Structure 1
């Protein structure tokens, strides 16, 4: 099953284009948080309802701990919306659609691009946090929990908490696989203005940080050239200048302005065909031990500026920062036994040179 993720700058018309993408794809399911779209092949998510439902389940699972602390569970009427719940609801609906099947394509109407970047990073980040907070070996030591509870003088976490943790880990792994799958592509929707031109390099770098390359860049709502109205003519000319600047960074597909509420069928006919398999900007490691005595770790970051990129090693992880975005990447086994010699941003790549640590590197290698 193919997945098309649709995001873009705020106000660029990404929701209308997501609906049109689903129409063009045929047997497609559209997942959206927009309350104005409905239909038999549309799943509308409600972040507030999602939070209330899962908060109730969480309180039920932690009833013993809440009782021990003397805490009173919240009633459903007391629960208000939670920031980020809509993103979690979108991810949950996407996972359900993948598990249930029934469609050839799933189109996910993501929030504006900066929120979408954080949403796409959630499965990997949450799974990492879960692994740190409830390690597999701790979840496996079920027989020791009653004894530890007696020694500590506090109730042991309910069995269902660990069962739920296993289920969460499996669900997050499924979502991470979906985000990184070769049949998952991303469409970026932009308006033809100077803001889009300024923001595109940073958006490309942030997407690349998480291994994504836009399969299609749609420049939406273009005005026709040659208007007798001087104001409209100048606005159309400014749009064309922006399109030219955007096209210097990535190939773009132009879509004309179809009014405030464009017809979905007409818009679908103007969109590009199905994108090729997504290209993943994965990390690579070059073995330069024989020639230079180092291993070279490389991550493509097209569009990144040197002053926006940060790098920290923490144990067996590299934490890479691009602007406000951050990703923790596990180091391969060989690099864990090395020290960082130097690092730099060159030709659109973050490059880190690792030299073997004599204290832990196998002799004769």
Structure 2
């Protein structure tokens, strides 16, 4: 199963391109699922309120969407319902911590008083990613993976890239707060609780932590695995020129592969109307700069807001099919000990600028910053016994030279 994430600058038409991309794949003969929270995109596909008709029931099962609705041959759509998923998730959390809440005298929240909080949409999308691995409701093909392609309509940049990085970050937090080696002490908790006079949290609460890690690992595998790509949607202009290099660097930093860059609402290169000719000229100038950074697919302006299946079909014809995706390049280490006495750690960062880069070593980790994006990367065991000699950006790669620490590196006989 392949996964195509669609994001881009705000107002560039991400949901429209996500819908057209899903339709493009379905028309090519691949079974496709589109996950979106955009009512306009659902209406254009003829789904409307029918998509995700049972979101609450799905949320109780841990999924933020109901049974997908078939809208065309090979194409299913489902509406991500973040509020319903948040309410169901909080209700489950209250059930697992019932004993602790009761001891503290806390009054559980009733379903009617639970309102969606900031971050609920990210939580819903994260659950959707994990659900892609474990299976989705409404499987059209029994006995095998339900869909050839899943298209996920994401929020604008940079929120989308932070969301894609969230599974790895949350797993790191869990490992720091609940180290695996401490799980051996679980058998002592009832005894310690009796000594302290405080009841231990329900066993289900600890089991939930293990379940969270498993689901996060599944979501992380979806984001960085093979067959996964991100389609960036931009409206050609000064903003797109500024944001594309940072977006490329952010994707590479978090190990997410680029599928395509789509310049949406592109006007004809020539027009008899002076006003349109001026706008088109500005777009063409921006497109030239964008092409210097990445390959760009142009999507024509229809002269109207795409609001029907026919409009989406017209746009689908101009879109490329999703690539097979081999995943983004992971950090690599070159062994130059014999020639130069160093190990060189390399991370491809296309589009990155030197003034936007930051590098900090903290113990056995490297904290790399590229513009607004940051990632904490664990060091290989050999590099942990080295000191950083110098680092720099060379030909689109961050390269860090590590020299063995004589006090930690095994001495030669």
TM-score range, shorter chain: over 0.9
Residues 1-365 of structure 1: matches in 2 within 5 Å?
Answer: 1-26=1-26, 27-36=31-40, 37=42, 38=47, 39=51, 40=69, 41-100=76-135, 101-258=145-302, 259-262=304-307, 263-364=311-412
Asked whether the 8 Å contact 2:266–2:299 carries over to 1, the reply is yes
Tell me the distance in 2 between the aligned counterparts of 1:253 and 1:285.
34
CA RMSD of aligned residues (A): 1.6
Distance change >3 Å, CA 352–CA 154, structure 1 → 2: farther
Instruction: Using the TM superposition, name which of 109-118 and 65-74 deviates more.
Output: 65-74
Q: CA deviation at 1:317?
A: 1.0
Asked whether the 8 Å contact 2:228–2:325 carries over to 1, the reply is yes
Distance change >3 Å, CA 77–CA 328, structure 1 → 2: same
Paired residue secondary structure (2:403): strand
Distance change >3 Å, CA 269–CA 321, structure 1 → 2: same
Deviations 1:115-163 (A, max 9, x none): 1001100110111111111222223432111122234443222210111
Q: CA deviation at 1:196?
A: 0.2
Q: CA deviation at 1:280?
A: 1.1
Distance change >3 Å, CA 150–CA 311, structure 1 → 2: farther
Q: CA deviation at 1:301?
A: 1.3
Tell me the distance in 1 between the aligned counterparts of 2:390 and 2:193.
48
Tell me the distance in 1 between the aligned counterparts of 2:211 and 2:181.
16
Q: CA deviation at 1:334?
A: 0.6
Tell me the distance in 1 between the aligned counterparts of 2:221 and 2:412.
38
Segments of structure 2 that go 5 or more residues without pairing to the other structure are 52-68, 70-75, 136-144
Deviations 1:245-294 (A, max 9, x none): 10010011111011212511121111112324244121011111111111
Instruction: Using the TM superposition, name which of 309-318 and 244-253 deviates more.
Output: 309-318
Instruction: Using the TM superposition, name which of 238-247 and 73-82 deviates more.
Output: 73-82
Tell me the distance in 2 between the aligned counterparts of 1:274 and 1:199.
23
2:139 aligned partner: none
Asked whether the 8 Å contact 2:348–2:396 carries over to 1, the reply is yes
Distance change >3 Å, CA 254–CA 60, structure 1 → 2: same
Distance change >3 Å, CA 189–CA 76, structure 1 → 2: same
Asked whether the 8 Å contact 1:210–1:327 carries over to 2, the reply is yes
* Runs of 4+ residues over 6 Å off in structure 1: none
After TM superposition, the score normalised by the length of structure 1 is 0.96
Asked whether the 8 Å contact 1:316–1:331 carries over to 2, the reply is yes
Asked whether the 8 Å contact 1:32–1:90 carries over to 2, the reply is no
Paired residue secondary structure (2:39): coil
Asked whether the 8 Å contact 1:340–1:353 carries over to 2, the reply is yes
Q: CA deviation at 1:57?
A: 0.9
Deviations 1:2-47 (A, max 9, x none): 1111111111111011111111111100011112313511121122
Q: CA deviation at 1:180?
A: 0.9
Tell me the distance in 1 between the aligned counterparts of 2:129 and 2:390.
41
